[in-house]
Chains A and B, each alone.
Chain A
């Protein structure tokens, strides 16, 4: 009897191993379906675990060291900037009032739609990968909430402490930068591929930051000209996650004269995010060994990915707008 029981177990093992071999050969499409059937089991309890994990990660993030003299100078600069901001805000309020007045008239006449054609679906990271070789996260929103494969995901961050009472129309949340893209989606959960994952690829653009104290020259036609607001066109590039902690932008023409500090943004005219959302900042520019006259950029992501917790899924609504607008 005991040997019969053991034989049964052996047969079960053979069958299960054969199923594993079969699912391996069948590929990622089967994997996506199988994972979506299991993720829901981890999402509810994983939420509390990830709350703790991302909190600890945020606390352990290395903070830059600032010298006392530099700190004082920064405080003074901050005060000056604060006053300037206040002045500009008052100017802006006045301008907004003027615009709102004119817009009201215009709106009544032509009824334009001004919204960026996207809907932002809030979600939360509830689990990570079992193994540390990939940069993906599971979020608690699936295709029932329009978290479809290929949709972009941005970070969302509270602008105020949750303990404070919030006023009406207070800008509570903001998107800070691109966090990744949805790789797999089930009914209740989805897997997000973060921007630094080695398989991540995004058509993007480099926006050069103009520093009046350090002017730079760029090539326009046959001559070198000074970079200014008039000729600072965004440079179209393709960025790849390096699998470690950043992004790589290969094959960028040297004549564009890109410096560390320039920013990498989403190209608003392609893909599912029609706005120049920030991806990261260029931290290193080196010669591309494989291509003469080209440079290779290393970009640090804008979002602190290890502590990523709250996200927005960007759902394009362009088709809907076209239908309603009739143009």
Chain B
């Protein structure tokens, strides 16, 4: 894992998610806004191609923390920092475990993996934030939030092949560690 390029990508994806990502957001629906999660797409891409699970989980933690730090609403009150970092770490590990069972180059498995990743992490995040929120949060809106989560997961999944297409050329730069000195000497 090349951490400097990864951190640059993480920053750019978060910046896109908090600004240009709102162009793709459907925010005039009666159930509330529905939008794709670009950071999930980057996390799924890393989970699919990273060399070791620990590196992937570390990257997942960074991406989850960035979401936590750039999200302030959603549970009817100020949200907490930390839950998404934990859920991303676990979800990347899960995606790493199942990646051998799917055809990573095909669009449909990519979409399914990204959609499920988004559904899992976002549902857990929304549930945790509401459970930890003070008592004035109304649970009547929870079913509406779950519908938002489901539609956002589908939306995110649909965009996965496109993002995968653009990220594949950067794969070596992003994920492969440069050959070590001893390795070069042997060659």
Q: Which of B13-28 contact A (CB under 8 A)?
A: 14-23, 25, 27-28
Is A175 part of the binding interface, using a Cβ–Cβ cutoff of 8 Å?
no
CA–CA, A271 to B72, complex, Å?
Answer: 23
A146 on the B face (CB < 8 A): no
A17-B27 contact in complex given A24-B132, A133-B74, C-beta closer than 8 Å: no
A198 touches which one: B61, B68, B83, B141 (CB < 8 A)? B141
| Contact of A245 with B32 at beta-carbon distance under 8 Å, contacts A23-B80, A42-B14 already known | yes
B41-49, B50-58, B101-109, B164-172 - the one binding chain A: B50-58
Given contacts A6-B52, A17-B61, A243-B76, contact A130 B71 (CB under 8 A): yes
For B118-132 the 0/1 string (1 means CB < 8 A from A) is 000010011010001
A10-33 interface code vs B (CB 8 A; 1 in, 0 out): 101100110111111111101110
Q: How far is the CB of A228 from chain B (nearest CB, A)?
A: 37
**A contacts with B: majority SS:** helix
Residues of A within 8 A of B144 (CB): 243-244
Contact A199 B73 (CB under 8 A): yes
In the A-B complex, the 9 residue pairs with the smallest Cβ-Cβ separation, listed nearest first, are A134-B73, A49-B19, A24-B82, A133-B74, A134-B74, A28-B78, A136-B73, A199-B76, A20-B82
B175 close to chain A: CB less than 8 A:
no
Could you list which residues of chain B lie within 8 angstroms of chain A, going by C-beta atoms?
11, 14-23, 25, 27-35, 37, 39, 52, 54-55, 57-58, 61, 64-83, 85-86, 89, 122, 125-126, 128, 132, 136-138, 141, 144-145, 148-149, 152
CB distance from B117 to the nearest CB of A (A): 14
Do residues A130 and B61 form an inter-chain contact, with CB atoms below 8 A? no
Whether A91 is near chain B, meaning CB under 8 Å from some CB there, is no
Interface segment, one of A52-60, A106-114, A210-218: A52-60
Evaluate contact between A244 and B71: CB separation under 8 angstroms: no
Q: Once the chains bind, are A306 and B126 in contact (CB under 8 Å)?
A: no
Cβ contacts A to B, 26 pairs, < 8 Å:
A17-B86, A23-B80, A24-B132, A28-B79, A31-B68, A31-B78, A31-B79, A31-B81, A42-B18, A46-B19, A49-B15, A49-B19, A52-B19, A128-B19, A129-B70, A131-B74, A131-B122, A132-B34, A133-B126, A134-B71, A134-B75, A135-B73, A138-B18, A199-B76, A305-B27, A306-B28
Chain A, interface residues (CB within 8 Å), range: 35 or more
Contact A21 to B82, CB < 8 A, known contacts A193-B73, A243-B145? yes
Determine if A132 and B58 form an interchain contact, defined as CB atoms under 8 angstroms apart: no
Complexed CA–CA distance, A197 and B71 (Å): 13
Cβ B70 vs Cβ A52 within 8 A: no
Interface centre among A21, A24, A31, A131 (most CB of B within 10 A): A131
| Contact of A13 with B57 at beta-carbon distance under 8 Å, contacts A132-B33, A134-B79 already known | yes
A140 CB to closest chain B CB, in angstroms?
Answer: 13
- A48–B19 alpha-carbon span in the complex (Å): 9
* Sample of 12 more A-B contacts, CB < 8 Å, known A49-B18, A128-B19: A27-B80, A35-B81, A127-B70, A132-B25, A134-B79, A135-B73, A136-B73, A183-B78, A191-B72, A197-B73, A198-B141, A244-B31
- Contact: A198 with B76, CB < 8 Å? yes
Flag A65-108 by CB within 8 Å of B: 1 or 0 each.
Answer: 00000000000000000000000000000000000000000000
B60 to A: closest C-beta gap in Å:
9
Contacts of A183 in B (CB 8 A): 72-73, 78
Name the contact of A42 in the complex, choosing from B15, B28, B30, B61 (C-beta under 8 A). B15
Contacts of A245 in B (CB 8 A): 27-30, 32
List chain B residues, Cβ under 8 A from A131: 35, 37, 67, 71, 74, 122, 125, 152
Instruction: Determine the chain B residues whose CB is within 8 A of the CB of A12 once the complex forms.
Output: 58
Contact B58 A13 (CB under 8 A): yes
Residues in A with CB closer than 8 Å to B78 are 28, 31-32, 183-184, 199
A34 interface residue, CB < 8 Å from B? yes
Counting CB contacts under 8 A, is A50 at the interface? yes
Name the one of A20, A41, A132, A184 contacting B35, with C-beta atoms under 8 angstroms: A132
Taking CB atoms, residues of chain A closer than 8 Å to B31 are 244
Chain B nearest CB: distance from A203 CB in Å? 15
Question: Are B18 and A128 closer than 8 Å at their CB atoms?
Answer: yes
Contact between A127 and B18 (Cβ–Cβ < 8 Å)? Answer: yes
A96–B136 Cα distance when bound, in Å, is 49
- A31 to B84, alpha carbons, bound, how many Å? 13
CB distance from A199 to the nearest CB of B (A): 4
Min CB distance, A295 to chain B, in Å?
Answer: 18
A26–B68 Cα distance when bound, in Å, is: 14
* Residues of chain B lying within 8 A (CB to CB) of residue A138: 18
Complexed CA–CA distance, A112 and B148 (Å): 54
* Nearest opposing residue in chain A for B81, CB measure: A31
Complex Cα distance, B55 from A42, in Å, reads 25
